[in-house]
Amino acid sequence: MMFKTHTAREVNESLEGKDIFLAGWVHTLRDLGGKKFIVLRDGTGIVQLVVEKGDQAFHSAQELTQESVVRVKGTVKVDKRAPRGIEVKVSELSILSKAKAPLPLDVSDKVSADIDTRLRERVLDLRRLEMQAVMKIQSAAVKAFRQKLYARGFLEVFTPKIIASATEGGAALFPVIYFGREAFLAQSPQLYKELLAGSVERVFEVAPAWRAEESDTPYHLSEFVSMDVEAAFFDYNDVMELLEDLIKGMLDGVGSECSECLKQLNYELPKFEFPIPRITYRESIEILRKEGEDVKFGDDLSTPYLRVLNKALRKDLYFITDWPSSARPFYTKARSDDPTVSESFDLIYKSLEIVSGSTRNSSREVLEEALKQRGLNPQSFEFFLRWFDYGMPPHAGFGMGLSRVMLMLTGLSSVKDVVAFPRDKKRLTP
Amino acid sequence: MMFKTHTAREVNESLEGKDIFLAGWVHTLRDLGGKKFIVLRDGTGIVQLVVEKGDQAFHSAQELTQESVVRVKGTVKVDKRAPRGIEVKVSELSILSKAKAPLPLDVSDKVSADIDTRLRERVLDLRRLEMQAVMKIQSAAVKAFRQKLYARGFLEVFTPKIIASATEGGAALFPVIYFGREAFLAQSPQLYKELLAGSVERVFEVAPAWRAEESDTPYHLSEFVSMDVEAAFFDYNDVMELLEDLIKGMLDGVGSECSECLKQLNYELPKFEFPIPRITYRESIEILRKEGEDVKFGDDLSTPYLRVLNKALRKDLYFITDWPSSARPFYTKARSDDPTVSESFDLIYKSLEIVSGSTRNSSREVLEEALKQRGLNPQSFEFFLRWFDYGMPPHAGFGMGLSRVMLMLTGLSSVKDVVAFPRDKKRLTP
């Protein structure tokens, strides 16, 4: 059946006097005795409905509760007093689903709730205009990311998520019982995307990945969407240039498609410097020492250090390049002019790493040596290493955390906010 | 560094006389004594290189093996005898990665291999021009699918893949050890996409899903990419119409972007009837009985039956609608005029179900009753049911198996062929 002729957003002055059908949720409800004002919400936005005493619809409207789902027929009327200057005078109203009252969470944002309540009542929370805006921005961001990559000849690929062994070594994996055998959930498509770059040259993937994160921080979840790129005949400089184009594309895409959503969030997209400023890891250490931090070559640049760096640099988006080789995974290529550092980078938004990338090792001997140096057994990586015997091109790539990029695109401060149904140590539902 | 100025595909007559850099794999190698012909392959296609005795490059070329990775500088020359009527006379050649000989699989397709060998040597197998074509068609198909949905106001969403309990009941799930607790891999985003349709109205997702398939068939894998759509204020007829548009979009997208790839596969895209013919399940049973099959209302339409139906109907793409209510999952809505059948459909390509969809139940009471009828305990589904108290709109949707659709778009006959690294009971690597 045809539930509606128009969406809430489509109701505008050009429809004045027309009879239309709408369907959606009762966002708010105001009773003025002889008149009821209903703000109707659907996936596109909100529009005001008016039900007047004496109309048949008035009787049905008596029963209405917030978040009930209704279908209405009505006439479009321009009215400057209404939100958006337009309202719909309802002649017919049917309740498709009546919501219990009181609601466990206020969807119309008159009462704010803490994050634990919001995550518990997430299906209602996602109906809030703010969260709808977040979801739209996310969809637009991923769309823009892919469009730029298609235009540059990248193929979207799908790598396996159940893997036989711990790929990168070290990080905590989730075990899966696979037909009676032990297997694991992929913590990243790293090795598979490298192999695919060795087959079809330029690939990307947007897919879930898992890390058994013990800690409860605003930047970690145990399940996350990883946006991965890998390209043969690229080095880390090529990848950084590509990434600049992708970041620009995502900002432009969100900026043009989601201006209403950004207003809803009361957020303005940041204006970054392009090309994105680059400093080396060594330079970062020097700056930090000048700022009085007790940090030396080889140390990890944890969030507190990045905060100091962000302030000292006065840049909100910057690359830190040439990380110590020992601090990066075995597949990272060392610089030939100074093997203590690697052809690697992190892209930092304020004090948060949002992308990590590098030129990869493309020689079996170098990979074996790098594994040994990290206390890993090359034999356990034979499923990966053997392909390097059959023509593996130089290649480079990166992994980008979607929910972290979303913090940049929404101004929100926790990845739990931007992920529809986040998973962490204590959350497996809803 | 800049590895190349042009891709193999970009080398054409307009570049005649120009010096260019190329990089890629040695697809084939022919030695005519004073001349070597190399067919160079990259992610875009192939181009012929010529190395002549006396040139410095000739010396390096002596060492070459098939699938070695090279970078060359050369001059573009029109030559009718060359493949594509063009070749590159090489002046400089460097070997970036030398491949061992012999290869465990012939990438240039002179010797064909069985599927087990191909899957074992998959990284080489994916370099075959045929498999590159398959990967490109897949990327184009998913792109077209998304574009149609964006245009209709659908949001891309990401639902959780680790879930606390068996969602649909029945099918075999993979257990995950989640911080010491038992959890499962989602067999479909079904319940989450319904909840999201109840929050933001129109959603889609392209993501992995898992079923512990014991059987080894050409149509099942234990890990697969599911293309899911769910929309509030849609019923199954609306969904079928949307699906027609998506199938058209995917055929058009692949047809226009991948004509070379289709040629490579020696495949012509099927020309289907639109709107896609619809027959009811009851009509299917009647046709099958007329064809002499011993089948009755309530029976599953397994592949042998669908083969007979395909032949009798003389249609390669058709909807079977109104399946018995008892044969569909608990969330499927029964027809109000005849509750023994449901508002459901399967889209069949020849004898293969490629999409399954329905109008969903949107009332808690009906859902609880449907669970009980199936021997399931409504209390175990409370995480899902409770949201139906707070305004759940009528909604409908479908799930489409990407690898099955790919059989329609490539003419291949097994999903193991089209998935880069398939997972089944015996395969966890590569």
pLDDT tens-digit map of A403-415: 999 999 999 999 9
Find the closest chain A residue to B139 by CA distance. A156
Which chain A residues are closer than 8 Å to B156 by Cβ? 138-139, 142-143
Cβ count within 10 A of residue A315: 17
Residues whose CB is less than 8 angstroms from the CB of residue B67 and which lie 6 or more positions away in sequence, other chains included: A390, A391, B25, B26, B99, B103, B107, B124, B127
SS3 content of chain A, % helix, strand, coil (to 5): 35, 30, 40
Q: Encoding tokens for residue B180?
A: 């010491």
Query: Testing the interface with B: which of A71, A123, A154 to mutate, by most B Cβ within 10 A?
Result: A123
Residues whose CB is less than 8 angstroms from the CB of residue B399 and which lie 6 or more positions away in sequence, other chains included: B188, B190, B226, B227, B228, B355, B356, B357
ipTM of model over 0.85: yes
How far is C-alpha A357 from the chain's CA centre?
18
Q: From residue B50, how far is each of A416, B38, B65, B72, B131 by CA, in Å?
A: 57, 6, 15, 11, 26
Q: What is the mean pLDDT of residues A107-131?
A: 93
**Architecture (CATH level 2) of domain A13-97:** Beta Barrel (2.40)
The CATH number for A129-418, chosen from 3.40.1190.10, 3.20.20.140, 3.40.120.10, 3.30.930.10, is 3.30.930.10
Confidence at A215, pLDDT banded by 50, 70, 90: confident
Return the pLDDT at B178. 95
E strands along B366-427, which residues?
395-401
Q: What is the mean pLDDT of residues A219-247?
A: 97
CA distance B34 to chain A (A): 26
Q: Are B86 and B57 in contact (CB under 8 A)?
A: no
Q: State how far the Cα of B220 lies from the Cα of B404, in Å rounded to an integer.
A: 9
A244-266 pLDDT tens trace: 999 999 999 999 999 999 999 99
The reply to whether domains A13-97 and A129-418 share a CATH topology is no
Exposure of A123 in the CB half-sphere (CA atoms within 13 A): 25
Cβ count within 10 A of residue B240: 22
Least confident range from A34-38, A274-278, A340-344, B165-169: namely B165-169
pLDDT at A163 over 80: yes
Return the pLDDT at B110. 80
Q: State how far the Cα of B232 lies from the Cα of B193, in Å rounded to an integer.
A: 10
User: For the residues of B116-138, what is the DSSP string, one character each?
Assistant: HHHHHTHHHHTTSHHHHHHHHHH
Exposure of A139 in the CB half-sphere (CA atoms within 13 A): 27
Q: Are A42 and A10 in contact (CB under 8 A)?
A: no
Q: What's chain A's length in residues?
A: 430
- Quick check: bond before A275 cis, omega within 30? yes
Return the pLDDT at A169. 57
Least confident range from A112-116, A235-239, B43-47: namely A112-116
Residue pLDDT tens, chain B, 430 long: 579 999 999 999 999 999 999 999 999 999 998 899 999 999 999 999 999 998 889 999 999 999 999 999 999 999 999 888 999 999 999 999 999 999 999 999 788 899 999 999 999 999 999 999 999 999 999 999 999 999 999 999 999 999 988 656 556 899 999 999 999 999 999 999 999 999 999 999 999 999 998 888 888 999 999 999 999 999 999 999 999 999 999 999 999 999 999 999 999 999 999 999 999 999 999 999 999 999 999 999 999 999 999 999 999 999 999 999 999 999 999 999 999 999 999 999 999 999 999 999 999 999 999 999 999 999 989 999 999 999 999 999 999 999 999 999 999 999 999 999 999 999 998 8
CA dihedral angle for residue A40, residue A46, residue A48, residue A54, rounded to 10 degrees:
-20
Which phi and psi (to 5°) does residue B104 adopt?
A: -75, -10
pLDDT at A170 over 80: no
- Parallel, antiparallel or unpaired: strands A69-78 and A19-31: antiparallel
A392-402 pLDDT tens trace: 999 999 999 99
Average pLDDT, chain A: 95
Q: From residue A123, how far is each of A23, A346, A430 by CA, in Å?
A: 19, 35, 8
CA distance A220 to chain B (A): 15
Ordered by start, the domain boundaries in chain B are 13-97, 129-418
Q: What is the mean pLDDT of residues A22-44?
A: 95
In DSSP terms, B344 is beta-bridged to: B358
Binding site annotation covers B309? Answer: no
Which chain B residues are closer than 8 Å to A160 by Cβ? 223, 420-421, 423
Return the pLDDT at B168. 60
User: For the residues of B161-193, what is the DSSP string, one character each?
Assistant: SEESS-SSSSS---EEEETTEEEEE-S-SHHHH
Say which of A1, A123, A179 has its CB closest to residue B199. A123
Confidence at A197, pLDDT banded by 50, 70, 90: very high
Least Cα distance to B345 among B236, B272, B243 occurs for B236
Q: Are B325 and B334 in contact (CB under 8 A)?
A: yes
Q: What is the mean pLDDT of residues A176-192?
A: 94
Query: Testing the interface with B: which of A158, A167, A187 to mutate, by most B Cβ within 10 A?
Result: A158
For chain B, report the end-to-end CA distance as a whole number of angstroms. Answer: 31
Question: Which amino acid is it at B217?
Answer: T
Find the closest chain A residue to B121 by CA distance. A387
Are B126 and A419 a contacting pair at CB < 8 A? no
Return the pLDDT at B55. 82
